[in-house]
Chains A and B, each alone.
Chain A
């Protein structure tokens, strides 16, 4: 299980990079020879390599079992965004440095750009679209609205899933604890001060 560390992952070589590279080589040799012009990726021959074929997966997302066709190299972020049209999950850097792509896997904040869709298995994924329950906003969502904790909004999904998880673990965090929890979430607009205020307010109201 991937656990989100407070600071961004900085390893130069990830499993995903390796798989993507392997996929490329395989696809390149197999397909270039076949001369099948204009074929969609989904129609490529499946049996040739572990990187190139299409896999049919089912995944628990926001309380539903969803079907999707992905490749072994497809990240969870891309699968959610492109296969399930759950575009609330954002990709800011695609290498685990900005946390905009944060989702929960079994309730734990996870970088979906650093996770392969095939890794998820039976575990339950929650995205920003699944944070509100039964039509009612999560308290941090309401607090972000009340305290103007969004600017452009591109980091907001990641910030919310991070702070909502913090409140699930710690119902009365200090400002320093909110800072520590969000220390991997990059925001270029500078919403951090209001993210802290909003999270503390949400905690007080929960």
Chain B
């Protein structure tokens, strides 16, 4: 099967393939549907407003749920009085939560009362269901809670200090969510500081750090800071639950129908098979929608109590304060290098807070990206009285890349080298080598001295790289059905959160069956169908498309048998091309795909297949392999009088194995870059230290990118064949989001000759940094 990068090192590699799986496809050039710009199969529903999201679901007799949330950030609950709410006209059910299923959990029973302690402002306490959203909102205000207020801490640095108010009195653990930053289990806490975590699937520390620094001819020590970012999907988290006496249906705005089902079954002591989760359209997720959540448990109770379906969608404020965020970080980096640029030692020490949750590690990108023989990391989680973090588009790696990729840029400056040439020297990854070359050509990269522009508005260019491991989930199954009426259906529980999963499934099955995408109907996002992966970790395309192709291949074998019967020959003598079965040596003897189905003895045929192990064995833990690597180039202009930054253009060179749908891949890369620019320049969750409340829990004051903030984006997409599965495809969502912020930060440095070490890089910080630099020069 094909292996390598076309025009560079494309070769053929032999792999052992399970007997039930199809022979390898050739490179995309030779395929008809895969690797092309195929229109999204659900675009028509989206442009006509007929796509039904969870927020749009309306069931007969449906009630509207609402949560009562803590008004202070740290407290014990003395009493809860729901009687007035209970008696309010139009209210059908009230429920008080007795445990929290989000965030970190104490190992031994810390619980001192019936109710969970309040650990952040906005933590859910109770909820109710009423005939309308307005009545629910009125009634929720009648709930009275008496608190015993406790001291609290919301700031990362203050929470680390001895004597700071302690968020968890005992050691805590938390399961990592799908695609989340890995959480090392069993680590101890001291005060609010848990860890350090020193190992990952790339292994632990390597080499001898002291020796490495002793060998260095140049040592750079820097501290980088990143902010808390909230996911802000346009459709907020939410569910519609119809408990129906334990035969449950849950409509969920989710990245994981599977997790939602499992969480619900667990919370209500039901067999998984009695919980059906449906998610046909989900309005974005970005990592925050992997679980049922406290709100989902609440909706379940309210539906169970009332005997009616209950819709519970978070409002925008609840979304910001309780539905997940990207933890912040402070990263202390120390780098040793030779004068020729070769790295001798790299030390990383980091602290970050996921509020009352775990997962503030910085992603091991420092460990995996460059060839450095001596490496050590220590990553600490710090608890604060803030809403729990969640996986967020390349968890940890986005924070980690901001530090590492500026550090490498600083090394290049110190060595008076082109930062691209330095990376060429220290990066072993073949795919990133090609990405640097193709990206630099497209961008027109020529090394430019920092701060060299005259005049108040200065232009700068910057480059940064990304690393993301290729992850698959073998619990990925697809059913392919053909019907007598000519229909071809693909069924799986996997969901499409806007990435285009429906369309890639249709393409893969169409390619295998010699059909067009329009001939294939994709029914997904329903746990009545075979279970699929969560939409996280950029797992989906690499996990589910091989299963789909394998199932289609099995179906094709069945249809060959059937065609052989009709054409009175052996299955081996038949070819399937362009919707027609024909004899290999007599093209006149043929039967069309549709005719064959029409003449089936039974109404439908069905075949099911799963993702098998990677062909040739799994490849994990190689330093510098950069499988889903990327290299991004940024050009910015900085107004040194106002501090205003405009990202003028970005060139993004990416790979994702065998690309399946070019348009959708471009769309995701655009999205990753735009989100990365916002991380670099705008987004910042601000919590008031004196009240513990978020000050900007909305879309107007939590500054995000709108059209004027979007630069010209050019994409170099590079095919990279690995011979690992029947489609050899991979995801792209996360790699797209990693390199952007450091590329922009490096470009800002290149423009003004002064480096900003903490995100977001606001006009105020630029003005302050320029003034500092000026004062230093004046002295």
Contacts and interface: CB of A to CB of B under 8 A. Distances in A.
Interface of A: 8, 10, 20, 23-24, 27-28, 31-32, 34-42, 44, 71, 73-74, 78, 81-82, 85-95, 97-98, 100, 127-129, 131-132, 137, 141, 144-148, 150-157, 160, 178-180, 182-196
Given A153-B51, A154-B53, A93 B698 contact: yes
B567 interface: no
Contacts of A186: 234, 699, 704, 706
6 nearest interchain CB pairs? A88-B49, A152-B498, A190-B671, A154-B283, A153-B46, A128-B49
Contact of A185 (B137, B281, B698, B707): B707
B672 A190 contact: yes
Interface centre among A8, A10, A90 (most CB of B within 10 A): A90
B35 interface: no
Interface string B32-69: 00000101101111111111110110100000000000
B89 A154 contact: no
B42 A153 contact: yes
Contacts of B672: 190
Interface string B534-557: 000000000000000000000000
A98 B284 CA distance: 15
Given A38-B90, A41-B132, A192-B674, A127 B49 contact: yes
Contact of A179 (B234, B499, B698, B708): B708
B48 to A, nearest CB: 6
A153 B707 contact: no
B761 interface: no
Contacts of B49: 86-89, 127-129, 157
Contacts of B671: 151, 188-191
A189 B329 CA distance: 24
B233 A193 contact: no
A152 B285 CA distance: 9
Contacts of B316: 92-95
Contacts of A152: 233-235, 281-284, 497-498
A191 B234 contact: no
B92 interface: yes
A16 to B, nearest CB: 12
A74 B134 CA distance: 9
A155 B699 CA distance: 14
A27 B138 contact: yes
Contacts of A39: 89-90
A147 to B, nearest CB: 8
B480 to A, nearest CB: 25
Given A41-B134, A93-B316, A156 B88 contact: no
A8 B700 contact: yes
B190 interface: no
Contacts of A127: 49
Given A152-B497, A189-B284, A192-B674, A41 B88 contact: no
A148 B234 contact: no
A188 B42 contact: no
A195 B44 CA distance: 15
Contacts of B286: 188
A186 to B, nearest CB: 6
B43 A193 contact: no
24 contacts: A87-B55, A87-B58, A90-B235, A95-B700, A100-B234, A147-B663, A148-B37, A148-B39, A151-B284, A151-B499, A151-B500, A151-B671, A156-B46, A180-B708, A183-B706, A188-B671, A188-B675, A189-B284, A189-B498, A190-B673, A190-B674, A190-B705, A191-B670, A193-B710
B131 interface: yes
A37 B565 CA distance: 70
B153 interface: no
B84 interface: yes
A54 B133 CA distance: 15
Interface centre among A89, A146, A189 (most CB of B within 10 A): A189
B134 A71 contact: yes
A184 B234 CA distance: 14
Nearest to A42: B131
B747 to A, nearest CB: 19
Contacts of A129: 48-50
Contacts of B84: 32
B88 A32 contact: yes
Contacts of B250: none
B666 interface: yes
A154 B234 contact: yes
Given A41-B132, A73-B134, A186-B699, A150 B92 contact: no
Interface string B170-213: 00000000000000000000000000000000000000000000
Interface residues of B, number: 69
B521 to A, nearest CB: 17
Nearest to B135: A41
Contacts of A92: 234-235, 316, 699
B667 interface: yes
B30 to A, nearest CB: 24
B664 interface: yes
B39 A145 contact: yes
Interface centre among A28, A31, A192 (most CB of B within 10 A): A192
B48 A88 contact: yes
Contact of A144 (B47, B234, B235, B708): B47
Nearest to A20: B134
Nearest to A8: B700
Nearest to A195: B707
A105 B284 CA distance: 28
B708 A183 contact: yes
B232 interface: yes
B283 A44 contact: no
Interface centre among A23, A39, A190 (most CB of B within 10 A): A190
A137 B43 contact: no
Interface centre among A129, A137, A145 (most CB of B within 10 A): A145
Interface in B311-329: 315-316
B43 A150 contact: yes
B676 to A, nearest CB: 10
B772 interface: no
Interface centre among B232, B286, B500, B667 (most CB of A within 10 A): B667
Contacts of A34: 89
A144 to B, nearest CB: 5
Interface in B429-444: none
B315 to A, nearest CB: 7
Nearest to A82: B58
Contacts of A78: 133
Contacts of A178: 707
B707 A192 contact: yes
Contacts of A154: 53, 233-235, 283-284
Nearest to A181: B707
Interface centre among B234, B284, B673, B674 (most CB of A within 10 A): B234
Given A153-B42, A192-B670, A192-B674, 11 more contacts: A87-B53, A92-B234, A94-B316, A95-B698, A144-B47, A145-B39, A150-B43, A179-B710, A186-B706, A190-B675, A193-B670
Nearest to B668: A151
B573 interface: no
Interface in B483-499: 497-499
A154 B699 CA distance: 15
Nearest to A141: B47
A87 to B, nearest CB: 4
A86 B49 CA distance: 8
B87 interface: yes
